[in-house]
Chains A and B, each alone.
Chain A
């Protein structure tokens, strides 16, 4: 039994973690869309609209056939009603009168949208040390600093442009890390993806700027299926950031993306995400279904891929950024903070597949669940026979806020040779009544107390984020956790 005053305390905590979503506005703009529904015709249309080479149309059709034979995976700790794939718009693009030559020709409404999101694309105001590719529904709107990057031989462009300009690179790498039939959502994405970012860092180049893509879902009924491909050639390195938001609608939008990374000898890719899709309202209505496949291939010796993610949004998050550690002494890392509230559900984690000798991996996962939310870590560490002397360290910490949230950890470890060292640590803590009371008794407000605990809990992950993003992540979490105490 909970008495009156206990209820008050719980309400206080609830209020604290329930900050209104700041990015819930939508933009009214003339659109070019393909009617709802999915069939071969739609795929032909997408490919036509994007003027794609034949190999890509074949890729899409093959994926579509695969997808039709597959079933939506049910092993995750997620509950949601069946998705009606015929009720989704697969292509929605702002109408453009002609091909754009410069940013001045971009619809001011779109520039204003990104401005409002804190992403300035115009020359005067854009970030000086980050190149940005802005994706709005199905298409990329603009990419900044392209010329400057090109001087170093770095290619950074939207996927659509890359398909036109570098078809050989796309043909060579697309679908090599995440095969078409890898899973249900990767097959779907491969059939209908519309845009995304492409980066190529040539040999011996340290990318002079952080690269960044900002994804915005705007249309109420469209899905977003973007595809990102990053290739880091021998001895190169790059830091890539990804951000996402969506308007507040009471139906669910589907987001099924694929990210593929390839790191060659001595190359280093750092991939950071701050995911803040609309999460749905307090009753769990609306919000984005986020089904994402992210995988990196450490192909060369001494290569390194590091994933850092801060997942605060989405109604459902299904995401396991992984590393295939094929090169000898390859390194894979995964740092994650996942915050769920209300009725949000997150099933996220990482896979580290060790093939290379003395390959190393590190997983640090921090799950925070508040409200009636469900937060699961799911991970696989697979050390194959060849991976002599491989090492893994995994740490999974869960923090529960209040009495109705839920945290799970599902670590799978498979070791096939005896020369390896695998460590796994897990902990669960709770911001409970007694801790809050302790703070209060010392004169510290609930707000400050929770903030302090959350920031302490996440510190290890936040220090992995690039500077600009660490500030953003801090702001994001405190946005969700700040507020008046009633």
Chain B
């Protein structure tokens, strides 16, 4: 049996407003793996995550992105989401006037429809979401509040992880989910992610800090600089970076 990577990126080049942001990026991620991507500010990490999710602001110049062996570059963000690609936003978007509960149910039902399964009604949905709330230690009050509106930084991040768990995504890209979190929130979120992680899933963690990796053990750590991955190692690489910074890699 051939083992196809869940994500394979080949020589990817991308621009935004004619600025070249990704320059020949290569990466392979298999199911059951957690990859951490680290790197200095402006190295292209967030861009990379948005490109995977299909953000329309970026233009792909060349290269390939294969999800379970099939190219996804021509797919809309919506279709990529249905296939099981999830992006936890670095800055989750506020949506005024729309309750979190309605938003989550709509997302859940969109996925149900994609899988040819029946949509759930609001009461059934409450049953489903209430179980997941515990995993990120969120109070049901958050369901009635507008999406991310007036949420604290930590609450927004927990809401992202809640959505990841709810949509049961195959490949999750977490863009600086740890930034702005206090130690307690970091622990809760890490526990949520660890409970969620299974053999049939994969996670890409984009982070600046090694401390997240104390809670979530990555199989690989990549260093990204200038739109490329310049070094790949194990969890130890993150510790080394913590000590030495990025300069020595140049």
**Pick the contact of A443 from B78, B96, B97, B99 — CB < 8 Å?**
B78
Measured in the bound complex, the distance between the Cα atoms of B37 and A193 in whole Å is 73
* Chain A residue at minimal CB-CB distance from B106: A444
**Is B123's beta carbon under 8 Å from chain A?**
no
Measured in the bound complex, the distance between the Cα atoms of B87 and A439 in whole Å is 11
Known contacts A1-B17, A438-B93, A459-B97; decide if A443 and B167 are in contact (CB<8 Å).
Answer: yes
* Chain B residue at minimal CB-CB distance from A1: B17
**Is B127's beta carbon under 8 Å from chain A?**
no
Quick check: B81 and A5 within 8 Å, CB to CB? no
Known contacts A437-B77, A438-B89, A440-B78; decide if A453 and B96 are in contact (CB<8 Å).
Answer: yes
Q: Which of B17, B56, B96, B114 has the most CB of A within 10 A?
A: B56
The 6 closest A-B pairs by CB, nearest first: A456-B97, A5-B56, A440-B77, A443-B81, A443-B110, A442-B107
> B-contacting residues of A (Cβ < 8 Å)?
1, 3-6, 8-9, 427, 429, 433-435, 437-445, 448, 452-453, 455-457, 459
Q: Which residues of B are found within 8 Å of A455, using beta-carbon distances?
A: 97
**Is B196's beta carbon under 8 Å from chain A?**
no
Measured in the bound complex, the distance between the Cα atoms of B16 and A6 in whole Å is 11
Q: Which residues of A are found within 8 Å of B102, using beta-carbon distances?
A: 452
Q: Which residues of B are found within 8 Å of A459, using beta-carbon distances?
A: 97
Measured in the bound complex, the distance between the Cα atoms of B163 and A442 in whole Å is 8
Q: Which residues of B are found within 8 Å of A453, using beta-carbon distances?
A: 95-98
Q: Which residues of B are found within 8 Å of A439, using beta-carbon distances?
A: 95
Q: Which residues of B are found within 8 Å of A429, using beta-carbon distances?
A: 96
The size of the chain B interface, using a CB distance under 8 A, is 35
Q: Which of B78, B87, B114 has the most CB of A within 10 A?
A: B78
Q: Which residues of A are found within 8 Å of B55, using beta-carbon distances?
A: 437
* Chain A residue at minimal CB-CB distance from B55: A437
A451 to chain B, nearest CB (A): 10
B20 to chain A, nearest CB (A): 14
Q: Which residues of A are found within 8 Å of B53, using beta-carbon distances?
A: 437, 441
Of residues 143 through 177 on chain B, the ones whose CB sits less than 8 Å from some CB of chain A are 146, 163, 167
Quick check: A441 and B81 within 8 Å, CB to CB? yes
**Is B111's beta carbon under 8 Å from chain A?**
yes
A6 to chain B, nearest CB (A): 6
Quick check: B56 and A445 within 8 Å, CB to CB? no
**Is B217's beta carbon under 8 Å from chain A?**
no
B184 to chain A, nearest CB (A): 27
Quick check: A9 and B56 within 8 Å, CB to CB? yes
Q: Which residues of A are found within 8 Å of B18, using beta-carbon distances?
A: 1
15 more A-B residue pairs beyond the given contacts A442-B81, A452-B102, A456-B97, with a C-beta to C-beta distance below 8 A: A3-B17, A3-B57, A5-B59, A434-B93, A437-B53, A438-B92, A438-B93, A440-B77, A441-B81, A443-B82, A443-B111, A445-B78, A455-B97, A456-B98, A456-B99
Known contacts A440-B78, A442-B110, A443-B107; decide if A456 and B96 are in contact (CB<8 Å).
Answer: yes
Q: Which residues of A are found within 8 Å of B215, using beta-carbon distances?
A: none
Measured in the bound complex, the distance between the Cα atoms of B92 and A442 in whole Å is 12
* Chain A residue at minimal CB-CB distance from B87: A441
**Pick the contact of B78 from A1, A435, A444, A456 — CB < 8 Å?**
A444
Quick check: B98 and A443 within 8 Å, CB to CB? no
**Is B103's beta carbon under 8 Å from chain A?**
yes
Q: Which residues of A are found within 8 Å of B242, using beta-carbon distances?
A: none
Q: Which residues of A are found within 8 Å of B110, using beta-carbon distances?
A: 442-445, 448
**Is B200's beta carbon under 8 Å from chain A?**
no
Quick check: B56 and A442 within 8 Å, CB to CB? no
* Chain A residue at minimal CB-CB distance from B92: A438
Q: Which residues of A are found within 8 Å of B59, using beta-carbon distances?
A: 3-5
Known contacts A438-B95, A452-B102, A453-B95; decide if A444 and B57 are in contact (CB<8 Å).
Answer: no
A192 to chain B, nearest CB (A): 42
Measured in the bound complex, the distance between the Cα atoms of B155 and A365 in whole Å is 31
Measured in the bound complex, the distance between the Cα atoms of B18 and A445 in whole Å is 28
**Is B76's beta carbon under 8 Å from chain A?**
yes
* Chain A residue at minimal CB-CB distance from B166: A442
Known contacts A442-B107, A443-B114, A444-B78; decide if A433 and B96 are in contact (CB<8 Å).
Answer: no
Q: Which residues of B are found within 8 Å of A434, using beta-carbon distances?
A: 93
Quick check: B77 and A435 within 8 Å, CB to CB? no
Quick check: B107 and A435 within 8 Å, CB to CB? no
Q: Which residues of A are found within 8 Å of B54, using beta-carbon distances?
A: 440-441
How does the 8 Å CB contact mask read for B64-94 relative to A, with 1 for contact and 0 for none?
0000000000001110011000110100110
Q: Which residues of A are found within 8 Å of B57, using beta-carbon distances?
A: 3, 5-6, 433
B96 to chain A, nearest CB (A): 5
* Chain A residue at minimal CB-CB distance from B53: A441
* Chain A residue at minimal CB-CB distance from B104: A442
Quick check: B56 and A8 within 8 Å, CB to CB? yes
Of residues 1 through 51 on chain B, the ones whose CB sits less than 8 Å from some CB of chain A are 16-18
Quick check: A435 and B82 within 8 Å, CB to CB? no
Q: Which residues of B are found within 8 Å of A435, using beta-carbon distances?
A: 93, 95
Quick check: B96 and A441 within 8 Å, CB to CB? no
Q: Which residues of B are found within 8 Å of A448, using beta-carbon distances?
A: 106, 110
Quick check: A452 and B167 within 8 Å, CB to CB? no
Q: Which residues of A are found within 8 Å of B111, using beta-carbon distances?
A: 443
Q: Which residues of A are found within 8 Å of B106, using beta-carbon distances?
A: 442, 444, 448, 452
* Chain B residue at minimal CB-CB distance from A431: B95
Q: Which residues of B are found within 8 Å of A9, using beta-carbon distances?
A: 56
